[in-house]
Structures are given as structure tokens and as C-alpha cells.
Structure 1
Amino acid sequence: MIKNYMEEVVDKVLIEVLNDYKDSCHCAMCIDDIKAMALNRLPPQYICTEKGLLYTKSNELMTQFKTDIIKEVIMAIEIVTKNPRHEHSHNIIA
């Protein structure tokens, strides 16, 4: 099975970073929009073997790798917060 490991990394970073954005909407729609926006701006990391997973996980240890992901997630949070696809009353904590 082929999988984009970057999705897992973005999920993990998003949870960490979103805690600092209390005024942002945390509903499923906004979270999906944030993830999609960040993933579209990051290079995919496709894996299909255990060896590929280990290699990709080792990249996570590199400071620049994580910094790039955090930067894109923060940018996506700020854009989605300013332009949600729903009314502000939809601010449900997921």
C-alpha cells in the first residue's frame, strides 16, 4: 500500500500548533482545510515499505524538515481562520 507519510506528520504537528490558536475554529471542516492547504504546499513523502518508513521517519529528526512543516501549518491556520468556509457560529471544538 502506498501512503503519503507527510499526512501523518502534518496531523501530528497540527495538533501541537493548533493548541496555540485558541481563537481559531477547530471544527472538522476547518481542520481539513488547514491540512489540505499545508499538504499542498509541502513535498509528499510516499512510502510503501518498512524501509521507506524508517528512512522517512529519520528525516523528521532534521530541524529544517520540522520547521518547514510548522511554517506551512501556521500559514494555513492563519488563512483558514481569516477565511472560514462557514459562519463563525460554527466554531465547534473537535
Structure 2
Amino acid sequence: MPDKRVLSHDLENVYNLNEDAVIAAIEKHFGDDEEACRCGVCIEDIFALSLNKMPAKYIQNYFGARDPERLVDNVLIERTVRDALAQVAKHPHHD
């Protein structure tokens, strides 16, 4: 993956808050659903599909942000991850 830089300025401190919340929701749903495929392809598809269906919540400097978790819509994330899991289960990118 290329460096995230503009005019020699490092942009690595720009962070999408939804990423960690989506990961947590995926892990929770895998704990609840023993039949879901846990291969890397399906997990990556669920992660990407979930993030693409939600508005991004980018912040600058995650560790300096005040209560960044309050910016995350957990209800939307749970619903989006559940929908992505169902879609990937119905149409996996493998046999």
C-alpha cells in the first residue's frame, strides 16, 4: 500500500473510527453464528462491504480525540455488519 502523504506531510494520523467498531461487530456476530464462514476472503469481504455501506467517520489524531466512540453509530454498524454477513454467506467469493 502506498504511503499516505501529501507534499511530504504524513497523513497516517487520519483514521476512520468505524473500522474498529466494524471489526468488533464482526467478531461478535461470528461468536453468535457458528455456521458463518471464517476464511480470510469472507472476513475481508464482510469488512469491506460493511465499511462501504456506511458513511466514513474520519478524525485526525485518534488518541487526541475527545470520546471518539461517541461519533460511532453502533446501531447502524450492527445492522450493516449483519446485512454484510448475510450477503457474503449467500454469495461467497469461493466454492
TM-score interval, normalised by the smaller of the two chains? 0.7 to 0.9
Structure 2 residues without counterparts, runs of 5 or longer:
1-12
How many angstroms does 1:69 deviate by? Answer: 0.4
C-alpha distance in 1 between matches for 2:86 and 2:14: 31
Q: TM-score, normalised by structure 1?
A: 0.78
Structure 1 residues without counterparts, runs of 5 or longer:
88-94
Q: What SS does the aligned partner of 2:32 have? A: coil
- Please name the residue that 1:12 is paired with: 24
Which aligned segments of 4 or more residues in structure 1 are displaced greater than 3 angstroms?
Answer: none
Task: Identify the structure with the greater helix proportion.
Answer: 1
C-alpha distance in 1 between matches for 2:76 and 2:38: 22
Task: Identify the structure with the greater strand proportion.
Answer: 2
Greater relative contact order structure (CA < 8 Å, 6+ sep)? 1
Matches within 5 A, 1:38-77: 38-49=50-61, 50-52=63-65, 54-60=66-72, 65-77=73-85
C-alpha distance in 1 between matches for 2:69 and 2:32: 25
Instruction: In structure 2, give the amino acid aligned to 1:38.
Output: S
How many angstroms does 1:59 deviate by? Answer: 3.0
Verify the 8 A CA contact 1:45 1:56 in the aligned structure 2.
no
- Please name the residue that 2:8 is paired with: none
Alignment identity in percent? Answer: 28
Matches within 5 A, 1:15-26: 15-26=27-38
Instruction: In structure 2, give the amino acid aligned to 1:35.
Output: F
How many angstroms does 1:72 deviate by? Answer: 0.2
* RMSD over aligned Cα atoms: 1.4
Q: TM-score, normalised by structure 2?
A: 0.78
Verify the 8 A CA contact 1:38 1:76 in the aligned structure 2.
yes
Equivalent pairs, count? 82
Q: Does 1:2 align with 2:14?
A: yes
